[in-house]
Amino acid sequence: MPAPDESAVTSVLASVADPESGRPLTEMGQVQAISASADAIAVTVGLTTHSAILWKPTAARIEELLRTRFPDVQNVAVAVVPHDRPPTKLGQIGLEAKSVIAVGSGKGGVGKSTIAASIALGLARAGSRVGLLDADVYGPSVPHLLGLSGRPQVENGKILPMLAACGPHSMPVMSMGFLVPPGEAVVWRGPMLHGAITQMLRDTLWGPLDYLIIDMPPGTGDIALTLSQVLPLTGAVVVCTPQDVALLDATKAIAMFRKVNIPLLGMVENMSFFLCPDTQKRYDIFGTGGAKRTAKELDIPFLGEVPIQIPIREHGDAGKTAANYDDPASRPYLEAICSRLAGGIAAAAAARPPLPSLPVL
């Protein structure tokens, strides 16, 4: 077999899609360098922070393709460097974000806010620019989960979000919990909810984001309608527990998202099982596999399960939900959910019809 050259390596890279755009890396100016000889191939590709959690698997995929195409080459090295691609403004409110993901549930008490915060934290830790909006106006719990308090300041007509330390960037967080005194109830009708959510989305100084994660209120209410009207959502994640009652309500939430044309990105089963730390015996306290079966029946990706773990509860109560990623028992479950979510978004981008070629002037 002839020694590989730059042209042959480029042809392999042309078959690899950029995880964010779905377009070939060679079309998006993301192939930074190629070195090829009979003994070694080295390539450097640029990927955006939107796909930060997919950098390693993308590099591994490129290496696999190169080794398959050039089996006689002993040394193959793939390096990934950041590729800048700013987000465009979305919807009526001009939010600068690439992906907007709603995290909802059919009922309360299933750990929706913990999963929403964990997804935001996981993507941010990987290197993405992430914002977290707590849209659960009646029962905001994100501030407590992240250990944030105080009242946001306003500068030049913009609300300065609270910042949670996470990964390479501080994560902006906005919640009604910052605006209402502790213990005070929010008693609002639909129009007031619409105005509050729209204002937090529009007037918060989020900065450019790869992802905005929105923690939805439980049930099927007005806020999903508001979001569908003011913002093009990438999709929704539905959180439930294994028992039948929770699955019935989760199915209603799925029907709601579909009715307002919000794509379903996946289901997460929380409190899936309890693994006794003393005996390593598994206890399916709320049943087993219900969300996975429901996801298959409804043709929705199953993103993963999160077991009942005392540290997850303790970290949430202490305002240290980010510490779950430092716990070797819980981290694999949470990272898998984030990776599958980002992978699904990447697959959807790759499946979109290609953009028409521009005429040559």
d(CA 34, CA 23): 19
- As for how many domains the chain has, the answer is 2
pLDDT given at position 358: 44
**281 φ, ψ (degrees, to nearest 5):** -85, 140
Residues 268 and 184 in one domain: yes
Residues 168 and 284 in one domain: yes
CB 105 within 8 A of CB 112: yes
pLDDT given at position 33: 95
Question: Average of pLDDT values for 142-151?
Answer: 93
Residue range of the domain that includes 223 = 89-349
Tell me the one-letter amino acid at 211. Answer: Y
Find the CATH number of the domain harbouring 26: 3.30.300.130
Residues 161 and 267 in one domain: yes
pLDDT one-digit tens code per residue, 303-340: 999 999 999 999 999 999 999 999 999 999 999 999 99
d(CA 29, CA 49): 16
**Chosen domain end from 49, 66, 82:** 82
- 46 vs 220, residue with greater confidence: 46
Give the rounded distance of the alpha carbon of 284 from its chain centre: 27
Residues β-bridged to residue 44: 33, 79
Question: Average of pLDDT values for 292-302?
Answer: 91
pLDDT given at position 360: 43
Question: Average of pLDDT values for 232-253?
Answer: 87
pLDDT one-digit tens code per residue, 108-134: 788 899 999 999 999 999 999 999 999
Residue 197's pLDDT band (boundaries 50, 70, 90)? confident
Residues β-bridged to residue 269: 240, 305
d(CA 29, CA 299): 35
Q: Count how many residues are written for the chain.
A: 361
**Domain contains 239:** yes
Question: Average of pLDDT values for 168-192?
Answer: 75
Q: Is the pLDDT of residue 225 over 90?
A: no
> 71 to each of 2, 74, 87, 234, how far by Cα in Å?
11, 8, 39, 40
pLDDT given at position 86: 94
CB 194 within 8 A of CB 227: no
Query: Whole-number mean pLDDT of the chain?
Result: 89
pLDDT one-digit tens code per residue, 5-39: 899 999 999 999 999 999 999 998 999 999 999 89
pLDDT given at position 4: 85
pLDDT given at position 337: 97
